[in-house]
Chain A
């Protein structure tokens, strides 16, 4: 008799990943979020077909043209096509959002694991330092770091990464503290596994769902902070079409050409919205209390 006939379809075991994905696809919001993110990734790929000179080339005879079929989002003070610039700018927001969050997550998970697993003195030192980092308002810390390093994409990734690392340290530490005393961790110690191997193969996989939820939620925040920094003139600088910088460049002509700021801002909002609803969906899908 084959295995399939013994276990009814309903009770057949899915892999945890498939299980979460299945629950995620049942959440309408998360599907919408995934679709928007998919569309943004397509836009990002399409933007590699655009030449950088095409987005910076000025054409003074076509300044401040309102949106039309020829220039979907109009043209700016230098006669550059805003649609092309917005599409080209996708790479900055997405790379800063992903980069900064990934940096914070990797560093935070490692530091938080050490703090949670070893406890005692190491934990005290790490947590006090985290408290200090958390006592500086994120935007201020970001501004200070970017002003020292200069406004470029890698520097923004670094600055925003540092600002959000504290969340990951705290979350990882908390979930590891809850798991540390479990029997399977004791068992791993007894069979002589190294600490690093215990952390990476036994503890972290079981402590990972809050990290994933925080990851999607902080991508949105990272994109917003990056755009804000560029907006006040400390992030990616003007000739590069970063979305925050694009909104900022339109503010002086807001009275006559409001579309210059509107469209890039709309893109920032859509991107952040997509990550936020995906984050909500993931939280629900990963929450064991809500299973089925």
Chain B
């Protein structure tokens, strides 16, 4: 599926490294729209970028095309929601800078800028860890507020189509999905003997209120 066909924010449950790298590589490979710059921001709470699987798909062998792909991937470590918010701000700034640059080029070369020049995919892994770490420092209200703001920023960024195209992918482990009401997960949950009901997890909350689509592998 092309990146354009994905929803604004998608939650991917129980993704494996090979599947994720497959999707990321398909996003980053240049298409017929040769002017499009495809970028990937991998925001992670741990060191979990599937480097080996990704290198199997796109080898880092010095070819210009592959090197450009590797240059366009940024790996960012975030362990708290505050850091995530700052990273999102920086992404907004870089988008604005890119926009200004293109406008300058347009005025000098008197060409009309083409839509979708910047195609960005943001992958957020470990949101639940960031939430917990923030919870250690802040109270519940503040933590929830920071989480909401971060997710809203993602949505606002994705909604704007002013010279760029942005999609977000939020990764969650299956264990985070306690109350998700899909048939398969519901059955799995009811058949398990955990018997614990200690509230919604971050994954449940985000999937219920902030994502457009949930993918379960």
A binds B: no
